[in-house]
Amino acid sequence: MEIKFGTDGWRAVISKDFTFDNLMKVAQAHADHLKEKNRKKVVIGYDTRFMSENYASVVAEVFSSNDFEVVLSSDFCSTPALSLAAKDLDADEGVMITASHNTYEYNGYKIKGGYGGPATPEIIKRVEERLGKTKPKTGKTRWEEMDFNSYYIQKLKKYLIPDIFNQKPEKVLHDPMHGATIGLLSRILEDTLIDVVEINHYRDAFFGFKHPEPVEKNIPLLRGKTVAEEAVVGIANDGDGDRVGIVDETGEFVNTQIVFALLLLHTIRNKKVEGAIAKTVSTTYLVDRIAQKEGRKLYKTPVGFKYIADLFLKDKIAFGGEESGGYGFGFHIPERDGLLSGLMILEMIHLHGKPLTELVNDLFAEFGTAYYKRLDLKVEGDQGRTLVEKLKKEPLKELAGIKIKQIDLTDGVKFIFENDGWVLFRASGTEPVLRIYVEMPEKEEVDMILQESKKLIGG
């Protein structure tokens, strides 16, 4: 079978394509790439998926047998914890055994740069080119083990405003979705007045037979328990802990675009972090308005955090992120960090002394209302790509009676309306899916635009 890398690594179905033999081929290709650059130190982590620790040990054996200095996580850890270890331990690169938010059938091999973020396209290309060129070396099992989680926890604690969580007793709900952040929020807040109530907080390689992605449809228990426990916020993290989903005190899911805007304001106004702002083309117009008001340079990229991470390496970025719930902070590492994002929302609530619903209302009062939905529409064959190409050649002038003022071809086709609302059409490169993203100033307009957009493909 062909081993094909995606954005920052390789994911495949366990036992079908994700096998020990294929894993060793990938690890050897990765080792060959590093040896050619005279680099000899790697850190390796793994999540809670089926046999992840076994896969990680095999990867460690391959690198050890290639005479690398290897530091292996002593327990399952999150992707940001592994990325932090890569940077702070001066590793040349890192390996994270995870399939992130994919379903339980999958596992994967994520490559991380020594700078503490996603591998660059050049790194991925070099590893792919070396696949199968060298027989995997095995036999040596000499490596150091380290508790990446404890180091990561201590680092995150240092980012918090001193004593911010010692003002009054309150509850927070945490849903690690059976993934790599199990127990971490409790450990961070253990010496405070915050009582962390955990759900889905035991290792389950099947993720409760649910999709370990913190989107609204996957966290009904978190929404209900946040209200039942009278918690100030509910925080969900995906399988490897690099994404976040937020629930307010009324049990309502706060969409990822609003979370982006809130975290951005907290970072630049309250944390006083200097630098530019980075967003993907599928991200809210509220960011543009904030950047303009705060006098910050704004970068816009194609969809994918790798583009945001690249900007962190090239310029001073205060905050950057994407629509899918992955956010990076200029005071941390150039990596999405779901647990830190949840902590920053909690810190913002306590600093302002207001419930999350009021913070959202304040955001809307200052920068205007914004409502958002995304539809992943299953299509036949190349229907999605065909529609996108057609819209590029024959762009719309209006949709649902709302005039279009601008077209953005950064990634897919984005139509921007006169009221600043927008619709983005993107075809998946790996599956027969057309993604339609819509953000509008009024709730009713979102559904109206989605319905009209579906008609373009006969939906």
Q: What is the pLDDT of residue 347?
A: 98
Instruction: Report the alpha-carbon distance of residue 299 to residue 313 in Å, rounded.
Output: 13
- Please check whether residues 185 and 321 belong to one and the same domain: yes
Do 291 and 256 sit in the same domain of this protein? yes
Residue 4 lies in a domain: no
pLDDT one-digit tens code per residue, 326-381: 999 999 999 999 999 999 999 999 999 999 999 999 999 999 999 999 999 999 88
Sign of CA dihedral 102, 104, 106, 112: positive
Q: Are residues 36 and 137 in the same domain?
A: yes
> Does 155 map to a domain?
no
Q: Which amino acid is at 255?
A: N
**Region 188-216: what's the mean pLDDT?**
96
Structure token pair of residue 159: 């980012």
Q: Are residue 49 and residue 131 in the same domain, yes or no? A: yes
**Tally of CB atoms within 10 A around 78:** 32
Give the residue-averaged pLDDT of 131-153: 96
Same domain, 139 and 176: no
The answer to whether position 398 is within a domain reads: yes
Among the candidates 296, 330, 365, a domain finishes at 365
Confidence of residue 459 (pLDDT cuts 50, 70, 90): low
Question: DSSP letter string over 407-452?
Answer: EE-SSSEEEEETTS-EEEEEE-SSSSEEEEEEEESSHHHHHHHHHH
Domain range spanning residue 420? 371-455
Which pLDDT score, from 0 to 100, does residue 9 have? 85
* Segment 126-131 mean pLDDT: 96
Burial pattern 186-195, b for ≥16 Cβ within 10 A else e, equals: bbbbeebebe
Type of residue numbered 245: G
Only one residue has tokens 């609302």, namely 421
Q: Are 181 and 279 within one domain?
A: yes
3-state secondary structure of 232: coil
Residue for token pair 């939905």 = 373
Q: What is the CA radius of gyration of the chain?
A: 22
In a domain, 40, yes or no: yes
Q: Are residues 392 and 448 in the same domain?
A: yes
Helix (H, G, I), strand (E, B) or coil at 74: coil
120/179: higher pLDDT: 179
pLDDT tens figures, 275-316: 999 999 999 999 999 999 999 999 999 999 999 999 999 999
Is pLDDT at 7 greater than 80 in this prediction? no
Q: How far apart are CA 163 and CA 263, in angstroms?
A: 20
pLDDT tens digit sequence for 63-81? 999 999 999 999 999 999 9
Which pLDDT score is estimated for 457? 85
Percent of the chain with pLDDT over 90: 94
pLDDT band for position 264 (cuts 50, 70, 90)? very high
State the chain's mean pLDDT as an integer.
Answer: 96
Cα-to-chain-centroid distance, residue 2: 26
pLDDT tier, 428 (very low <50, low <70, confident <90, very high otherwise): confident
Length of the chain: 459
Conformation bin of residue 84: beta by default, left when phi > 0, alpha when psi is -120 to 50: alpha
Q: Provide the β-strand partners of residue 4.
A: none
Calpha distance 289→278 (Å, rounded):
13
Amino acid occupying residue 225: K
The predicted pLDDT at position 1 comes to: 63
Residue 437 lies in a domain: yes
Domain boundary among 131, 150, 169: 150
**pLDDT attached to residue 299:** 98
Question: Is residue 113 included in any domain, yes or no?
Answer: yes
What phi-psi label fits residue 209: left (phi over 0), alpha (psi between -120 and 50 degrees) or beta?
A: left
Residue 107 C-beta-side C-alpha neighbours within 13 Å:
26
- Encoding tokens for residue 72? 């292996």
355 and 411 co-located in one domain: no
- One domain, residues 415 and 271: no
Residue 245 has pLDDT above 60, yes or no: yes
CATH assignment at residue 145: 3.40.120.10
- Give mean pLDDT, residues 98-112: 95
Indicate whether 429 and 341 sit together in one domain.
no
Its pTM stands at 0.96
Q: Is residue 2 in some structural domain?
A: no
Whose structure tokens read 């020990």?
20
Q: What are phi and psi of 281, to 5 degrees?
A: -65, -15
Q: Please tell me whether residues 408 and 444 are part of one structural domain.
A: yes
244 shares a domain with 134 = no
Is the predicted pLDDT of residue 85 greater than 90, yes or no?
Answer: yes
Number of DSSP helices (H) and strands (E) in the chain, helices first:
14, 21
Looking at residue 87, its pLDDT comes to 98
Among the three residues 150, 180, 214, which one is the final residue of a domain in this structure?
A: 150
Amino acid at 442: E
Residue 1 lies in a domain: no
How many independent structural domains does the chain possess? Answer: 3
